[in-house]
Amino acid sequence: MSQTDTFLKQQKMSQETAEAMAKAPGDYVMLTGDRPTGRLHLGHYFGTLVNRVKFQQEGVHTNIVIADYQVITDRDSTDEIHDNVLNMVIDYLACGIDPEKTMIFTHSAIPPLNQLMLPFLSLVSESELLRNPTVKAEKEASGHALTGLLLTYPVHQACDILFCKGNVVPVGKDQLPHIELTRQIARRFNERFAHVFPEPVGILTKAVEIPGLDGRKMSKSYGNAISLSATEEETAKLIKKSKTDSDRNITFDPEGRPGVSALLTTAALTTGRAEEDIAKEIGDAGSGALKAYVTESVNSYLAPIRERRRELERDIPYIEDVLADGNRRALDVAQATLDEVREAMGMVY
């Protein structure tokens, strides 16, 4: 199947599953997660966090992995990992993730999850691993030689999803190859040993790419991201130095005017208005006026989230409890699945 056909098939499956999930949310187990490499930003917020909260509220069984082992796929240091993990929990809670409803855990704390890696690795071939487009792109971006962990992390991601029998995985388009591999691993395991795993479906988030302040995809590594944890002043400064152009008449034209258009999209997302309407209202007032408008909309939108963030930051023992509790629950789930796996493989002695 060509790449386009595969994508169309995945898109269709995503849509159908999202519709089915809306009808019977309790039948679905969502697993998704983030690498704790920094603070979450508006791109994460509108790209995935809003959706996670929505599924949580609708009654889907929601689980979030803070993928700490994935950090060392392409970097050497874990110096900031502890701080990043706690701040990630703070970001989630500030955005409306409820730890009573959603299990939040770090995969390094769940040995039986990681042990699934061994049987799963036996189910994939070297060439399947080598042709994963995300792995290839990340290898190039890292500037490193391909490490064994980077090569095999999609299999580890399958462990993240399958240990809790996740059947829906909200992700961006770049993660779809990993979901496809997870489905193959589940299918091969079930065929070879016994039926243990569902074949999970990737749920494509609607805003597939949020533009950063320079019109490129919002990403911490491009320095174009507005973090949820930034102060109002930092937000204003970031927006002020974002690249626009010299045409004073503000129009929405993502191809021709990426900078101006990214600002308009940011304002649209945070006010619920259409980009064109905002552009028309600002008219000839120039990018200074546009930037002032964007700063005001982003800061007002984020004000309650930031307020809640500040409260949570003052109670780190609570944050640690949330994580310890999530890890305890995830450990039980993982142990039960590993028991089934060993039973299916005749490895109970």
Cα 33 to the center of its chain, rounded Å: 5
The answer to the question of residue 171 lying near ligand TRP (CB under 6 A) is yes
Quote the CA–CA distance of 127 and 50 in Å, as a whole number: 36
Closer CB to ligand TRP, residue 47 or residue 119?
Answer: 47
Cα 222 to the center of its chain, rounded Å: 17
Q: Which stretch binds ligand TRP (CB under 6 A): 29-37, 78-86, 229-237, 265-273?
A: 29-37
For ligand TRP, the binding residue among 29, 65, 93, 168 (CB under 6 A) is 65
Closer CB to ligand TRP, residue 142 or residue 271?
Answer: 142
Quote the CA–CA distance of 17 and 38 in Å, as a whole number: 31
Handedness of CA 299, 301, 306, 311 (dihedral sign): positive
Q: Which stretch binds ligand TRP (CB under 6 A): 9-17, 169-177, 203-211, 253-261?
A: 169-177
The answer to the question of residue 152 lying near ligand TRP (CB under 6 A) is no
Q: Are 275 and 220 in contact (CB under 8 A)?
A: no
Q: Which of residues 172-201 bind ligand TRP (CB under 6 A)?
A: 175
Cα 23 to the center of its chain, rounded Å: 24
For ligand TRP, the binding residue among 62, 157, 224, 295 (CB under 6 A) is 157
Phi-psi region of 65 (alpha: psi -120 to 50; beta: other; left: phi over 0): beta
Closer CB to ligand TRP, residue 33 or residue 211?
Answer: 33
The answer to the question of residue 70 lying near ligand TRP (CB under 6 A) is yes
Q: Which stretch binds ligand TRP (CB under 6 A): 155-163, 250-258, 310-318, 329-337?
A: 155-163
Closer CB to ligand TRP, residue 169 or residue 230?
Answer: 169
Closer CB to ligand TRP, residue 33 or residue 43?
Answer: 33
The answer to the question of residue 32 lying near ligand TRP (CB under 6 A) is yes
| Residue 95 CB partners (closer than 8 Å, separation 6+) | 40, 45, 49, 50, 53, 228, 305
Quote the CA–CA distance of 209 and 36 in Å, as a whole number: 20
For ligand TRP, the binding residue among 14, 30, 35, 162 (CB under 6 A) is 35
Q: Find tokens 């395991």 and name the residue.
A: 189
Q: Are 94 and 52 in contact (CB under 8 A)?
A: no
Interacting residue ranges for ligand TRP, rule: CB under 6 A: 31-35, 65, 67, 70, 157, 160-161, 169, 171, 175
